Each structure stands twice: as structure tokens, then as C-alpha cells.
Amino acid sequence: MEALGPYILASSLVMLGMLVLLGVAYTIWSQLNMKKKRAYFKELHADLKLGQEVMFGGGIFGTVKEIDGDRVAVKVRSGAVLDVSRYAIQQIDR
């Protein structure tokens, strides 16, 4: 019976190489997606205007009533006005 040592070592190195390649590919793919998301949110927060219907973290919907720097007053259906961070807004319903 032949010694299996060289074959096990070779197959382990090939598997390690494949895992490294997959890790690099995943990292590049993730960075590209994050770049797109950053651009989307930068535009979304810059386009914020009074009277727009917005959805912010947690799926709460409301209407923008006041913008004061990084703070936004949002009126929800119950009539309450919530003071939230501009960066909590996830979507603008146009």
C-alpha cells in the first residue's frame, strides 16, 4: 500500500487555495455592494424635503415636517411628531 501523506497534503493545499480565492471574491463583491449602498443613502439624505413621505428604521412611515441639520421632525399617522436622525431614514416614497 502506498503512503497517502503526499496526496493528503496536496489536496489540503488545493482546498486552502480555493477557500482563499472564495474569500477574496466575497470581499470584493461585498465592497462593491457597500459602495452602491453608500451612494444611494448619500443621495437619499441630500434629497430630503418637507412634505415627503418617508420610511425610517423599523418600518415606521411618516411625513417630513421640519428639517434641522441632522434632525428631522416626522409626523406619523397618529398625529405624533417624532424627532429622528436624518440618517435613520431608509426610503423616500416619491
What is residue 1's predicted lDDT score, i.e. its pLDDT? 54
pLDDT in tens, the chain (94 residues): 577 777 888 889 999 999 999 999 999 999 999 999 889 888 888 888 999 999 988 889 999 999 998 899 999 999 999 999 888 898 888 6
Tell me which fold the domain 49-94 belongs to: SH3 type barrels. (2.30.30)
pTM of the model: 0.61
Break the chain into its structural domains and give their ranges: 1-46, 49-94
Beta bridge mates, 22: none
Buried b (16+ CB within 10 A) or exposed e, 41-51: eeebeeeeeee
